[in-house]
Every structure is written in C-alpha cells, then in structure tokens.
Amino acid sequence: MSQNMNVQSAPCPLVILDVQDAIDQPVWDGKNNPQYLAVIMRLLAHWRLNGWPVLHIKHDEPTLASSYHTHGPWNGIKAEVAPIAGETVIAKQQNCAFIGTELDRVLRDTGTNRLVLTGVVIHNSMDATVRAGKALGYDIILPSDATTAVPVVGLNGKSWNAETVHDLTLAILSGEYAKVMTSDEVIKWFPGCIPSEI
C-alpha cells in the first residue's frame, strides 16, 4: 500500500460476510489470525459512528450437514457484529454473495461502486465474492486483518496451513481483483469521526 494514500471523503459500504456462529464449529478449526473478529468489530464501530452504510451477508446453507444450515443451531450472525436497526441483511445460498441475491442492487442503490469487504473465510466465500464483484465493476477494498483462513488439504493429501492459505489468497487477489490493505490503512483512508477506542 502506498504511503501517499488519498483520503476518501465519500465512504462506501462496509460488508460483513458469513460471520455467523457456524464459523466457530470444529469443521472450521485451525483458523489463523484469531483477532479477525475484533478487527471487524473495530471497523464496524467506525462505520456506525459515522452513519455510513453497513451490509450483513448471512449464509443460509440448504445442506443439512453444514454448520451454516439455514435452520441449524449455529446459523445466526455472531452477537459481536449483529445488525442494528437500519442495517441491511442479505441472505445467500451460494458461496458467492452476488449469486441469487440482491447484493448488486443494494450496492448500486448506495451510489458507489466501491465496498470494503470483511468476513470469512478468505479462500472460500470471500474469494468468490471478490472475483464476482470485480467482474461486475466494483472497486473492492479488502482489509487483510479482517478475514481468516483454515487449513486446506489437496486431493493428493498435501496440506497447507491456514496462514499460508491466507497469505497466498491475499497475494493472488491483490491488485487485479482488490485493493488489499490493513484495517488501520482503511481507517486512515476513511477517517471521519474516530471512536475513542480505535
């Protein structure tokens, strides 16, 4: 990220993707960057203080065995980032938040083609959403510390730890698909009024 960032005066929506109780179930164990939720909370507090738009994407998985199953016990949005009055919640059933949802329309109604995307996990729904969003013409800001990864095992049994998956996915997405920066850099880009705890 260049040190000569231009401060932006017209903030874009903060999008929080799939941050539901399901992500704490054993199938998602081994996550790197355990502070990702605190980082999202910090960005959320900044957006709310300034009255900027916040969108929550909630995954409603039809597969019964999924921790994200629509009617399962862990489907709810995590309490730490739960929506408040006036914030939009969009349900999705695919890994990509743009497929079969109103996300594109809602974003365009905000009058900007830019968004800040946070959530889980970077190599799954985050990756799919970034790539689709870029194809639709969106300028996507991706805070590197506001997401996480889990270990991946390939078909041949080779495994990659979560930190490697996280770093490699961000490296692939950076530049061509998204502007990757830290949450501190995002707040400097969109300073507004800053809560005392930030």
Please give the CATH topology (third level) of the domain spanning 14-189: Rossmann fold (3.40.50)
pLDDT at 197: 53
Among 7-11, 102-106, 119-123, 151-155, the range scoring the smallest mean pLDDT is 7-11
Phi and psi at 80, nearest 5°, equal -65, -25
Per-residue pLDDT of 3-15, as tens digits, reads: 344 555 558 999 9
**pTM of the model as a whole:** 0.92
Domain ranges for the chain? 14-189
pLDDT band, very low/low/confident/very high, at 192 (cuts 50, 70, 90): confident
